[in-house]
Structure 1
Amino acid sequence: MYNNLGAQPGVPRPPTNPQPNPFGNSFYGAGSGLIRGGLGAYGEKILGSSSEYVQSNISRYFSDPQYYFQVNDQYVRNKLKVVLLPFLHRGHWTRITEPVGGRLSYKPPIYDINAPDLYIPFMAFGTYVVLAGLSLGLQGLFSPEALNWLFVKGLLGWFTEVMLLKIALLSMGSGEAPLLDIMAYGGYTFAGLCLAVIGKIIWSYLYYFLMPWTCLWMGVFLVKTTKRVLYAEVRTYDSSRHNLLLLIIAVAQFPILLWLGNISVNWVL
């Protein structure tokens, strides 16, 4: 009850700040410094390595999404020629590299015709859905439910193409290609598919002429691009195995495109 009172007369007042222990302070300062320095270095090492690991894996498997939309009108025209008429492409199929930040990086699509982009696949996919809805309308079968199914059908076809290319790369021991690269290659299928659907809208018999050629063109284009990715990434080369996988990719375009090109309200076909 006297703790808050002042000092009484004749009674010595106890010191409020006791004499510090020089040894304790020395040990405390040294210990806290070692602890702070050690934990700081250890944490920086962990966080730094984790950040580098995450960034390297993100760039390896997903890359930068903005990279795939650096396009212009000239690139789109030339790329569509390569996709739809791969037989007439006389240049090389390899991508152009440039040094960035002390390491090699690929030039964006606006500067390299062989670079993958997502602008054409997304635009082609949207055009496919619109053309499919128009085709159903001309047949008197249009409905929101049918259009939703065609949208889902297109996504399933795109997913099938991506999985086909991914499995081919994994079979060769090369699964390090960025996922967005594979999505771009698989999405180019809709560019040729739109051409076949337009032919079907103009004249039904024209579809049966354009669809086989579309399948063949897309097979050649995917073989050319996949062959470049395979040969660039795979460490061990097996010609017979490579050629078999490339043949499977080319042949698989026929059932996939025929299934996507069949515009109907049938949920199976």
Structure 2
Amino acid sequence: MQRNTYGQSPPLHHPVPQHVSTVPQLRSPPPPPGSAQSQQQGYAPTGQQGNPYQQQGGTSGNVFGAYGQFMNDPTAQVAAQFGQTAFKQGQEYVEQNIGRYVNVAALKHYFNVSNSYVINKLFLVLFPWRHKGWSRKQAVGANGQEGWYLSPRDDINSPDMYIPVMGLVTYVLLSTLIAGLKGAFNPELLGVTATTGLSVVIVEIIALKLGCYLLSISSQSQLFDLIAYSGYKFVGIIVTITVAEILNGGKGTGGWIGWAVFAYTFSANALFLLRSLKYVLLPETNGQPSGPMQTDSRAKRNQRTQFLFFYSYIVQLFFMWVLTRA
């Protein structure tokens, strides 16, 4: 090999191929976990690569970090406070407008329930003959005198709105579910069933108010009490439909099994109403907060007793039969 003037060997020239084939680029294996290179390139150990967005570009695509920065943004905090204020003002507006027609404070009393109350109340509606005391409890004032009735949470004999409302909703959903299992589901069935249930309750309340007016029965909380008691029938109706469908093999409430369950739930509901509505439809002058409602004569009391019996048995028999066949 010859050397140039400066004592250096000349550069080597390699032949360049005329036809160059495309060679795939090989990726190097990821660096060991925990190394500085792996943290810079966005690699994570096995089992910690759940979020693919955290591995694209190293530090880009961090959704949770962006969310945390968004929540720490002063503008987002101001927007959240504005939303809370708007919701509070909207709630106050609704309460003020509804308060013109409905006593919201009195209505909240009927939704003051607990889990233990709901369970015990359902047991009471289905097995009323096991219950002994039917008198409602009253709060005692500072001077030792009895005052207002206790809420359902504190008195098992107090009527509530939670069970009737949930009973109506469950009745509608159960009826549509059974229709769907039989292949006869129709979206309009929800509206039809709900309208039927509400119509029965409204007609029943109108009949009760008319009877109370003709018999000169008045009470401060009479309307809400009557609405609550009229909705307890849905408990027996739901039990009737469910048991009859299961034992009859999906054939409905017909047959002797369906009629036997219906007779039981109807009798239980009638006895429950007969005992519970006594303080509303048969008031006495015993200092209760329902007002100075007197039983003028024995004839007037007999009329009220007959009305209570007619409502508890005859009216409930008709409406429960309609709802179970709807």
Distance across 2 between alignment mates of 1:160 and 1:212: 23
Count of aligned pairs between the two proteins: 205
Q: Does 1:242 align with 2:317?
A: no
Spell out, residue by residue over 1:46-85, the C-alpha distance to the aligned partner (whole angstroms, 9 max, x if none).
xxxxxxxxx9x976xx761111111111111111122111
Which residues in structure 2 correspond to 1:106-125 (within 5 Å)? 106-125=149-168
Q: CA deviation at 1:191?
A: 1.0
Residue 117 of structure 2 is matched in structure 1 by 75
SS of the aligned residue for 1:111 comes to coil
Contact preservation (8 Å) 1:219, 1:251:
no
TM-score by length of 2: 0.58
Contact preservation (8 Å) 1:95, 1:106:
yes
Residues 1:207 and 1:248: Cα distance change in structure 2 (over 3 Å): same
Spell out, residue by residue over 1:143-200, the C-alpha distance to the aligned partner (whole angstroms, 9 max, x if none).
0112210110010111133223323322321132422211111111111111111123
Distance across 2 between alignment mates of 1:170 and 1:82: 29
Q: CA deviation at 1:208?
A: 1.8
Name the % identity: 30
- Worse-matched range after superposition: 111-120 or 169-178: 169-178
Residues 1:88 and 1:68: Cα distance change in structure 2 (over 3 Å): same
Residues 1:101 and 1:260: Cα distance change in structure 2 (over 3 Å): farther
Supply the RMSD in Å over aligned alpha carbons.
Answer: 2.3
SS of the aligned residue for 1:150 comes to helix
Residue 176 of structure 2 is matched in structure 1 by 133
Residue 17 of structure 1 is matched in structure 2 by none
SS of the aligned residue for 2:277 comes to helix
Q: Does 1:94 align with 2:135?
A: yes
Q: Does 1:216 align with 2:277?
A: no
The structure 1 residue matched to 2:314, chosen from 229, 251, 257, is: 251
Distance across 1 between alignment mates of 2:120 and 2:225: 18
Distance across 2 between alignment mates of 1:155 and 1:209: 26
Contact preservation (8 Å) 1:85, 1:217:
yes
Residue 144 of structure 1 is matched in structure 2 by 187
Distance across 2 between alignment mates of 1:225 and 1:170: 19
- Worse-matched range after superposition: 170-179 or 141-150: 170-179
- List gaps (5 residues or longer) in structure 1: 1-54, 264-269
Distance across 2 between alignment mates of 1:128 and 1:164: 23
Residues 1:214 and 1:105: Cα distance change in structure 2 (over 3 Å): same
Residues 1:258 and 1:243: Cα distance change in structure 2 (over 3 Å): same
Residues 1:87 and 1:168: Cα distance change in structure 2 (over 3 Å): farther
- Per residue, is there more helix in 1 or in 2? 1
Distance across 2 between alignment mates of 1:137 and 1:159: 28
Greater gyration radius: 2
SS of the aligned residue for 2:147 comes to strand
Q: CA deviation at 1:241?
A: 0.8
